[in-house]
Amino acid sequence: MDSRTHRLLLLTIVFSLGTGLGLAAETKPVTPPAPKDEVMVLPKLEVTAQRAKEIDKELKRLDKLIARERKKIKPTELDKTLNNEKFAKAAAIFGGNSAEHLSAVAASRVMLLEQERMVLEAMKRPATIEERKMMAAEIEQLRKTRRNLDDPAAQRF
């Protein structure tokens, strides 16, 4: 076989492959399925660094309050002497409380402060506006309960 025959043979192969590839490229594109009428709407989220910084400041303040109240849980000897249970009962008309009562109130405050801290930690993560409102209301309720621990009149209601 001479070179001319080789060229003819190669040209025949190239044209036969080329026309087959050309036919495949001319096929009609696949149409995508029709879109559904329902549109999914995601809840709105508020993500800002400023809000996280404010929450961090509040957490730091709460940590200081928790540390201060934890010191009050265990009454000192001076506190036991000054707020003796015998004297506290006698001075109840003047608003005196025993050391054990003050210790129990401090323990309750620590528990409420820790719950408030947990809610604030949850507020740092993105949440819907409704969830943030619920968390803010819960924090306000915890703060109100903590304020009313020392006021027996407010605890009745």
As to burial, measured by CB atoms within 10 angstroms (0-12 exposed, 13-18 middle, 19+ buried), residue 145 is middle
pLDDT tens digit string along 113-143? 999 999 999 988 877 888 989 999 999 999 9
- The domain spans of the chain are 49-150
- The radius of gyration of the chain from alpha carbons, rounded to an integer in Å, stands at 38
For 58, 66, 92, 101, the CA distances from 132, given in Å and listed in that order, are 16, 24, 43, 35
Q: Give the helix/strand (H/E) hosting 8.
A: helix 3-25
In this prediction, residue 9 has a pLDDT band, given cuts at 50, 70 and 90, of confident
What pLDDT shows up at residue 19?
55
CA–CA separation, 87 vs 106, rounded Å? 20
What pLDDT shows up at residue 77?
84
The conformation of residue 74, written as its DSSP 8-state character, comes to S
State the alpha helices, DSSP H only, in 74-151: 77-82, 85-90, 99-124, 129-147
The conformation of residue 45, written as its DSSP 8-state character, comes to B
Cα 137–chain centre separation: 15
